[in-house]
Structure 1
Amino acid sequence: MTELSLSATPSRRTMLAGFASLAALALAGCSTTGSTRPTVATAEPPMRVVPPEVLAMYGPLPDEDFPIPAAPIHLLDPIYWRQEVENTTGEAEGTVVVDTANRFLYWTEPNGRAMRYGVGIGRAGFEWNGRAHIAYKRKWPTWTPPSEMIERQPEIEKYRHGQPPGLDNALGPRALYIHQGNTDTLYRVHGNMDVHSIGKAVSSGCVRLLYQDIIDLYERVRPGAPIVVLADPAAGLALPTTAAV
């Protein structure tokens, strides 16, 4: 999609190395409920006019293993619609960059361009930042919540040995698995169909995109691609000074 003149991209940020807290790794998870069904808002914003090319971009995907309905994109602020923008991240081509402060994910492309997606990020107490890499990726993955998450949310005990793939799966139709060196951070970049969560800090540390967006990103990213998660200055996190491996 060509660039939409909806909002200026955020300014260049200083990349901060290392994860915010090793303790956060043990607490990482990708859902607070294990459900990806859209929630019903008490008061919806006024119906906005959505351009045909955007409707097509977020339309139904009937040929998936589990057919995906159209996203209710009219409920989402246009700034979070997928769009091609100038690469202001300072990162080389082929890098995933998560701008936590502005709730954007960038996939950097040739010629100083980037594809930008709206995302939901970790809520208070689950924020993290640093450099790592995408170790591998999966279509229609099984979601296995960490033991720490099950302790916090006993209702997901039934998924201790894995939640089967499907529209209700917490990871959605695609997932990118984030490792630091040879260590699985337990964080993922994955799908979620709750449009009200995009642009918000709501997850247990994972980065969530709409189903149509994670499928698009999945096709672009190759295993081994670097990922940089920028610190949100408002979070007030104490960051390590050593670079991540």
Structure 2
Amino acid sequence: MLTRRSFVATGAMAGLSACASVTRTAAPAPVPAAPPAPPPIPPLPAFYGAITDEPFPVPAIPEGVLPPEYWRQEVDNPYKGHAYGTIVVDPDEALLYFIESDDTATRYGVSVGAAGFDWEGTARLQFCRKWPRWKVPASMIERQPELAPYSVANGGMDPGPGNPMGARALYLFQNGVDTLYRIHGDASYRELGKAVSSGCIRMLNQDVIHLHDRAVHGSDVIVLPAIKPKGLSALY
């Protein structure tokens, strides 16, 4: 006989059975969208090919590794009011501008001084050298004693492959005094856009040869203040 009590108990058990039979399936985690592939790097201009008429070989820049923003190119002059031949370096953007006119400039990609080694101000382009010797300053030898054989007293390092000054160097002076900072070649294409040197402005050899051939003796070289933080260690 189904009593009220047994009916309630049976109903409760049925309710529990119904609850126990319901399972909750977790919603699948959303799959993040794959980031868009970077656009392919277009073929390099011919002037980044190998240079074979120099005292030492200048190898070609490999294809597909140098972003166009660091290619040598003529651009609108962002620094109006400066004389022809003025050089302006923007360390945050890792770009060097050679002023052509109030309207145009030739822009080059560079690497700049690492944290603690950067330099800023206005200097004078005192002179230039082809395939310069690397004469290591005493301050660098204090940090890297293994460079002592290439000190000023020892005559420096012979030019050529392996010399971090590369194919050309532009020497910066202030008030007739050598700042010990240079614009020079032998930058790796991997360095462009980065802060890697002991204050010097490093360029691809193809670009520093082009700049050297057009540089104006006695012109201003303006290195703007760096604002962005830098975290890489200095090399040369």
TM-score range, shorter chain: 0.7 to 0.9
Compare CA radii of gyration and give the structure with the larger one: 2
CA contact (8 A) 1:87 1:114 kept: yes
1:86-235 to 2 correspondences below 5 Å: 86-92=76-82, 93-110=84-101, 112-160=103-151, 161=154, 162-235=156-229
Amino acid at match of 2:56: F
Please give the per-residue CA displacement for 1:185-222, whole angstroms capped at 9, x wherever unaligned: 00000002411111000000000000000000001102
Deviation at residue 73 of structure 1 after TM alignment = 4.9
Stretches of structure 2 lacking an aligned partner (at least 5 in a row): 1-36, 231-236
Is the contact between residue 47 and residue 75 of structure 1 (CA under 8 Å) also seen in structure 2? no
TM-score by length of 2: 0.76
| Correspondence for 1:81 | 71
Matches for 1:44-55 after TM superposition, within 5 Å: 48-51=40-43, 54-55=44-45
**Relative contact order (alpha carbons < 8 A, sep ≥ 6): 1 or 2 greater?**
1
1:79 match: secondary structure = helix
Percentage of matched positions with identical amino acids: 47
* Structure 1 residue ranges without an equivalent (≥5): 1-44, 237-245
From 45, 60, 74, the counterpart of 1:70: 60
**TM-score normalised according to structure 1 size:** 0.73
Structure 1, residues 47-86: CA drift from partner, whole Å, max 9, x if none?
94433xx341100111100011101252122111111000
Count of residues paired in the alignment: 190
Structure 1 runs of 4+ with >4 Å offset: none
Which one-letter code corresponds to 2:180 in the other structure?
A: L
